[in-house]
Amino acid sequence: MGLMEKIVSLCKRRGFIFPSSEIYGGIGSVYDYGHYGVLLKNNVKQLWWQANVLKREEVVGLDSAVILHPRVWQASGHVSSFTDPLVECKECHQRYRADYLLEGKYGDIKTIDGKPRCPACGGELTEEKKFNLMFKTYIGAVENTASAAYLRPETAQGIFVNFKTIMITNSQKIPFGIAQIGKAFRNEITPGNFTFRTREFEQMEIEFFVEPGTDEKWHKYWLDERIKWYQKLGIKKDNLRLRQHTKKELSHYSKDTYDVEYQFPWGWGELEGIANRTDFDLKEHQKYSGRDLTYFDETTKKTYIPYVIEPSAGADRATLAFLIDSYYEDGKRIVLQLHPQLAPIKVAIFPLVANKPDLIRVAKKIYEMLRTQLVVAFDDRGNIGKRYYAQDEIGTPWCVTIDYDTLKDNTVTVRDRDTTKQERVKAEALIAYFNEKLKTL
Ligand code: ATP
């Protein structure tokens, strides 16, 4: 079994991530997150929020709507330019991204007279046409052009249209940023690779507003910050790289973009794009809305439209990368060596054997005590080896066992997931013990 198959299978077996609407046969490339999956993804989002909003005076938060005024997407260029080149097989009607065909992302394909043929059946492909990735919907009871709207394909525009209000209500001065986590929707031509490319996903975006001329310096700053974040949370250095976009690749709004890439089992893939969006978006919104979106710098007395540096990450892709990077097999033992801050469950509590009321009573008491501060689990099923095995697979960093000695001296054993070493600790010291471990990480 390849690594990716093992990850997908573990995710399903333990209920992290599984196909959506499965009782109806599933719906292509749409996934649901079960209990451990939600806990893990929430930790990813919280740790991002902590590092980029709570720990910074100069970044504030936002939660804007998914459906914005349709003019927003005209101003931003998404109606005209948010397209992928689409070709369709005239025989089997499979659809492909023309650029991916040429890059070999659908594998080795036949060509006739230099023209690529369908990877599935070898049939002739149609001419390339532009396919807009935005999901269209209608507002209200009438379905016509006037009521058409879009589900946002990025959270960024909600930030740009609120830029002035947020700056004023939070008394921010440039440089400052606005951050947002939320769903985005793209009608991808070929989704795939598990949760790497889906049509509904979550983004974690910062728009950082700076004075023109200082943009390149800030771009470098955010590249460093964001790489450090992934490394601090345990992604191996060799599996991460920064890749600069070629001129041809650059989005319509970008002066310069770098991707933070992760070495996925199928090759390098983007985790996050960090773009210098210049003053493109604010300028366009000023033009389309007729509102003044300039900034007056009281120190230099200069008025300008700020430039924007945008670190734009995917919560689902980051979650997937953390799962893959932490997967470890040690003989029969399968372990997710997740950074403890990311681990869905921090501590599991076990009574040594299941049918001893005294042990269960004390174990429950310890469980209730730890539960006030940490995400903990209680397990008294089967033998202790099986319980360790289950916790290793979901990445729980510590397991606490209550045994006969506990009844005498109120100490417990704490077993470390990665070393499997055990340590005896006083039950009343456990909260401080785990808090200290989590703090120093
Ligand atoms: P790609 O080149 O892989 O299509 P992109 O360059 O279009 O990605 P951006 O527009 O930079 O992506 O979006 C920022 C982030 O949002 C990406 O780095 C990724 O983590 C996430 N993202 C974008 N599209 C998807 C998708 N279809 N499924 C899951 N996450 C996505």
The reply to whether ligand 1 has any atom less than 6 angstroms from the CB of 344 is: no
Whether residue 441 is predicted with pLDDT greater than 60 in this model: the reply is: no
Residue 86: band (very low, low, confident or very high) from pLDDT cuts 50, 70, 90:
very high
Q: What is the pLDDT of residue 105?
A: 85
Task: Give me the DSSP letters along 119-180.
Answer: TTT-PPBPPPEEEE-PPEEE-SS--SGGGEEEB-S-SHHHHHHTHHHHHHHTT--SSEEEEE
Q: Which atom number of ligand 1 is nearest to the Cα of residue 197?
A: 28
- Mark residue 147 as left, alpha or beta (left: phi above 0; alpha: psi -120 to 50; beta: remaining): alpha
Rounded Cα–Cα distance for residues 281 and 287 (Å): 10
Whether residue 440 is predicted with pLDDT greater than 70 in this model: the reply is: no
pTM: 0.95
Q: What is the pLDDT of residue 330?
A: 87
Residue nearest to atom 1 of ligand 1 (CA): 270
Q: The tokens of 404 are what?
A: 């006969």
Residue 102: band (very low, low, confident or very high) from pLDDT cuts 50, 70, 90:
confident
Rounded Cα–Cα distance for residues 84 and 199 (Å): 14
Q: What is the pLDDT of residue 1?
A: 87
Residues 368-426: tens digit of each pLDDT: 999 999 999 999 998 999 999 999 999 999 999 999 999 999 999 999 999 999 999 99
The reply to whether ligand 1 has any atom less than 6 angstroms from the CB of 226 is: no
Q: What is the pLDDT of residue 317?
A: 98
Residue nearest to atom 19 of ligand 1 (CA): 314
The reply to whether ligand 1 has any atom less than 6 angstroms from the CB of 314 is: yes
The mean pLDDT of the chain is: 95
Mean predicted confidence (pLDDT) in 7-15: 97
List where CATH 3.40.50.800 sits in the chain: 345-439
Q: What is the pLDDT of residue 177?
A: 98
CATH architecture entry for 3-68+138-325: 2-Layer Sandwich (3.30)
Share of the chain above pLDDT 90, in %: 90
List where CATH 3.30.930.10 sits in the chain: 3-68+138-325
Residues 205-259: tens digit of each pLDDT: 999 999 999 999 999 999 999 999 999 999 999 999 999 999 999 988 899 999 9
Q: What is the pLDDT of residue 28?
A: 86
Record: fold of 345-439? Rossmann fold (3.40.50)
Rounded Cα–Cα distance for residues 410 and 427 (Å): 6
Residue nearest to atom 11 of ligand 1 (CA): 273
Residue 161: band (very low, low, confident or very high) from pLDDT cuts 50, 70, 90:
very high
Question: For residue 205, which amino acid is it?
Answer: E
Q: What is the pLDDT of residue 104?
A: 86
Pocket test for ligand 1, best of 100, 201, 266 (most atoms within 8 A of CB): 201
Q: What is the pLDDT of residue 333?
A: 93
